[in-house]
Amino acid sequence: MRKDGQYKIAVIGGDGTGPEVVREGLKVMEAVSKKFGFKYSLTIFDYGGERYLKTKKIISDKEVKALKKFDAIYLGAIGHPDVKPGILETGLLLKLRFGLDQYINLRPVKLYNADFCPLKDKKPQDIDFVVIRENSEGLYKSMGKFLNKGKKSEVATQISYNTRKGVERCIRYAFEYCRKRNKRKKLTLCGKTNVLTYAWDLWERTFNEVKKEYPDIKTDYAHVDATTMWFVKNPEWFDCIVTDNMFGDIITDLGAMIQGGMGIAAGGNINPGGVSMFEPIGGSAPKYTGKDVINPLAAICAAGMMLENIGEQKAADAIENAVIKIAKGSLKSLAAGKMGYTTQEIGDLVVKNL
Ligand code: IPM
Ligand code: MN
């Protein structure tokens, strides 16, 4: 929490529906700041596909560095239909995550209303866990090469790069988070020790060493393939899950579906000692752009996570409670165009229920 109570927030609406959902998140932030008496300033950045198409610029090292002076970054979505896939994702989103050393991707999976769960007989108390995804290494490191590109004999390699330091800081964060969360106090390592015998040997050894410092936390291990099975069959087994970058990417899309869909799934790219960035995890949804039909709840929840991260816990709780209320009482569905309300009306509903 800032002493002068004035937070500096950087806002990157980004592509597609990003700016629309961010607008609703900011609407909710304004209301909640009045209620709980904190102040902030917003600085809007136009990084994204439109700017890239006009200027050929994505984001420079200097621009990334300039973001370090903010207390947090609020991001809408990255990915533009007229830009080849990969350019903005690596040049902007991953560049920010890496450049700001946001080495944790924190993704809560929480069901607010059983009616929105595609699984049979699962209740809100059954689906309430957090995935702690390593966010700076692994297969995302862009390491690899082509041999004999374009020939019949072509070989492409893509390396999963795991450092002891990177793995340990992630695992340690996960234990601390699990302790602080103080629910079932169980941390599951999700990996693939039976096949990826270098990377996951390092992860498993590190996990087993670090866990000795946390005797109050129960630990468990599950292979990533089995993890997807348990997400569907027994999601109630999970409390906190720690995993690498690629596995974390995959299992959190499944996690989003069992909590009701991309419309409600939020995440934080966390640098515990620096500036963190909060985003709905659903992407830019180009086909819904500008139609006022996209669900802004994921972005609103991301704003809540951001407020929690900068120290405004009460405001964060108020947002979550308002979201729970309308997810239970008002919305017909969490899916775009089927909610029974427009994007802007949902923002208003959250504000009304704060
Ligand atoms: C996510 C996204 C990104 C990722 C893409 C857009 C690069 O899928 O945040 O989960 O793979 O991390
Ligand atoms: Mn993803």
- Residue where the block lists tokens 């900011």: 26
DSSP per-residue letters across 220-278:
EEEEHHHHHHHHHH-GGG-SEEEE-HHHHHHHHHHHHHHTT-TTT-EEEEE-TTS-EEE
Interior/surface letters 165-193, b for 16+ CB within 10 angstroms, e for the rest = ebbbbbbbbbbebbeebeebbbbbbbbbe
Q: With 90 as the cut, is the pLDDT of residue 4 above it?
A: no
**How far apart, in whole angstroms, are the C-alpha atoms of residue 317 and residue 321?**
6
Q: CA of 119: how far to CAs of 40, 72, 114, 223, 234, in Å? A: 40, 35, 9, 21, 10
Ligand 1 neighbourhood includes 178 CB (under 6 angstroms): no
Which residues neighbour 327 within 8 Å (Cβ) at sequence distance 6 or greater?
112, 113, 116, 260, 264, 297, 334
AA identity, residue 161: Y
Using one digit for the tens of pLDDT, what is the confidence trace for 223-256?
999 999 999 999 999 999 999 999 999 999 999 9
Structure tokens at 87: 């350019």
**How far apart, in whole angstroms, are the C-alpha atoms of residue 22 and residue 15?**
11
- Residue where the block lists tokens 């340990």: 168
> Which ligand is located closest to the Cα atom of residue 267?
1
Using one digit for the tens of pLDDT, what is the confidence trace for 172-198?
999 999 999 999 999 999 999 999 999
Angle at 259 between CA 321 and CA 85, to 5 degrees: 115
**How far apart, in whole angstroms, are the C-alpha atoms of residue 269 and residue 295?**
21
**How far apart, in whole angstroms, are the C-alpha atoms of residue 25 and residue 316?**
12
pTM: 0.97
% pLDDT > 90, the chain: 97
- Mean pLDDT, the chain, integer: 97
Using one digit for the tens of pLDDT, what is the confidence trace for 260-315?
999 999 999 999 999 999 999 988 999 999 999 999 999 999 999 999 999 999 99
Q: With 70 as the cut, is the pLDDT of residue 1 above it?
A: no
Q: With 60 as the cut, is the pLDDT of residue 3 above it?
A: no
Using one digit for the tens of pLDDT, what is the confidence trace for 135-162?
999 999 999 999 999 999 999 999 999 9
Using one digit for the tens of pLDDT, what is the confidence trace for 84-110?
999 999 999 999 999 999 999 999 999
251 alpha carbon – ligand 1 mean position (Å): 12
Average pLDDT over residues 46-75: 97
What is the model's pLDDT at position 282? 87
Ligand 1 neighbourhood includes 126 CB (under 6 angstroms): no
**How far apart, in whole angstroms, are the C-alpha atoms of residue 14 and residue 347?**
19
Ligand 1 neighbourhood includes 75 CB (under 6 angstroms): no
**How far apart, in whole angstroms, are the C-alpha atoms of residue 305 and residue 264?**
13
Q: CA of 8: how far to CAs of 62, 73, 190, in Å? A: 18, 9, 36
Ligand 1 neighbourhood includes 251 CB (under 6 angstroms): no
Contact 162, 138 (CB under 8 A): yes
Confidence of residue 20 (pLDDT cuts 50, 70, 90): very high
In degrees and rounded to multiples of 5, residue 131 shows phi and psi of: -95, 125
Structure tokens at 240: 């906190």
Structure tokens at 127: 């689906």
Contact 328, 335 (CB under 8 A): no
Atom of ligand 1 nearest to the CA of 253: 10
What is the model's pLDDT at position 76? 98
Q: Which one of 93, 103, 131, 132 would you pick to mutate in the ligand 1 pocket, going by the greatest count of ligand atoms within 8 A of its CB? A: 93
